[in-house]
Structure 1
Amino acid sequence: MTIQKNPGKLSVGIMGGTFDPIHMAHLVTAEEVRIQFDLDRVVFVPSGNPPHKEARNVSDQEHRYLMTELATISNPYFSVSRVEIDRPDEELTYTIDTIRYFHRHFEGKANIYFITGADAILEILTWKDYRELLSICSFIAVTRPGYCLSKLEETIGAACPEALCNIDILEIPAVAISSTLIRSRVAEGKPIKYLAPEAVTQYIIKHGLYR
């Protein structure tokens, strides 16, 4: 690992996502990051109105929040934040604003780690205030084994070489589960058992989501 910790501070992972729905791969990723980086906690942040939102309609914020709560409630190291979904609907939610919020929330007494995918991290130079973001937050980019790390160096290192010191890559055995897969299976009337936590599966059935 290249990221250095500041002793005496909490180590907090922030895992953002649409979570529509949250599934087992999200949970496996968060737990493995927590273990490998010795984090004190991981905070899941269901997205509000991100600037790069997919064209499709995203499920209601409360559904996504409650499913994330149900999926994480049994892990004492996991919690869920409403920081993004409680912002006004018309207000775009940027990662920099969320990270600033957590710095204020922890009163500067926490090392903040933003957990994202390795492919997403390649777009970081297009993110709002990315230089400030890289200076106040470390990034853990999760990928499957065999990912070509040279892409990271070529894309980010060329434009912002100092950023590489604040980005770490963690390989996690591939889990071929995605929210898109789950939505498609539900729409087709196929079972999703073991793809999402049982409580999330029952919530989807009860509320008729993705039909």
Structure 2
Amino acid sequence: MKECIALLGGSFDPVHHGHVALAALFAGLLQPDQLRILPARPWQKSSLQASDAQRVAMLELAFTGQPLMGTTPVSIDLQEIERGSATYTVETLRGLRAELGEQSSIVFLMGADQLQKLDTWRDWQELFRLANLGVAARPGYDLDQDKLPPAVAAALAGRLATPAEVRATPCGKVCLAQSLAVDISATQVRNALHAGAQTGAGIGTDISALLPPQVLDYIQQHNLYKS
């Protein structure tokens, strides 16, 4: 059986239950040989509130050794941080394809909100020549093709596949998962943490429901997202 590598990228500022749920969903569906978590360097570096080291530390707390991923090995891939400059997803996938060879199945994971703006990404159609896509539904974002931008819907036509087909194919397939009902954004988390700090209310149950407890502890210990 071909090697299958699932890749979840993002700013993770901070990592939250939505990220973990997305990764766990596809870990279960694909049974990949490895799940790589890829903290990105966004073009607007100033938009990040946590440092690279802090984002990596929170990812390690959220993912390393956690039972939600089953038997799937999880690693934090630091290539974009170590590159020292912002990069596009297509560049990262080119490098990963060169590393893994032509036969490995690479599955880039994303939420439906990202799929709906996929045609704004750099060289986005090349993504299908480098990897498969695993896309999870998210409340408020429809995966029906008539709800997608026409160019994205056209690109998906003929590519939809089962998890088993995606796992067995190096690139070019798309697996849609309708069963992810978690609706959390990092902006929502940051705003809630900031509001708690401003009002003196501290960490409420609404915030603790958004984050893995060990990540929330780290945020409190390092006084993150208060301003």
Regarding TM over 0.5, the answer is yes
- One-letter amino acid of the counterpart of residue 222, structure 2: H
Structure 2: which 5+ runs fail to align? 67-71, 161-171, 197-201
Q: Which moved more, 1:23-32 or 1:175-184?
A: 175-184
- State the alpha-carbon separation in 2 of the partners of residues 120 and 54 from structure 1: 20
Against the structure 1 CA distance between its residues 55 and 151, is the aligned structure 2 distance closer, same or farther, given a 3 Å change threshold? farther
Q: More helix per residue: 1 or 2?
A: 2
Query: Is 1:175 the equivalent of 2:187?
Result: no
Deviation at 1:104, TM superposition (A): 2.6
How far apart, CA to CA, are the structure 1 residues paired with 2:89 and 2:38?
10
- Does residue 131 (structure 1) correspond to residue 131 (structure 2)? The answer is no
Counterparts of 1:16-165 in structure 2, within 5 Å, are 16-50=9-43, 53=44, 56-75=47-66, 77-88=73-84, 91-144=85-138, 147-149=142-144, 150-152=146-148, 154-158=150-154, 161=157
- The worse-fitting range, judged by mean Cα deviation, of 189-198 and 68-77 is 189-198
Under a length normalisation based on structure 2, what TM-score does the superposition of the two structures give?
Answer: 0.77
2: distance between equivalents of 1:166 and 1:58? 35
Tell me by how many angstroms 1:38 deviates.
2.5
Asked whether the 8 Å contact 1:67–1:200 carries over to 2, the reply is yes
User: C-alpha deviations, 1:12-71, integer Å up to 9, x for none?
Assistant: 111001111101121111111111122222111011134xx5984442111111111111
TM-score, normalised on structure 1?
0.82
How many residues align? The count is 200
**SS of 2:217's equivalent?**
helix
Q: Output the amino acid matched with 1:84.
A: E
Shift, 1:128, TM fit? 2.0
Distance in 1 between residues matched to 2:210 and 2:130, nearest whole Å: 35
Are 1:48 and 1:87, in contact at CA under 8 Å, matched by a contact in 2? no
Q: Which runs of 5+ in 1 are unaligned?
A: 1-7
CA RMSD of aligned residues (A): 2.5
> d(CA) in 1 for partners of 2:214 and 2:81?
21
- Residue 202 of structure 1: CA displacement? 1.3
- Between the aligned residues of both structures, percent identity stands at 29
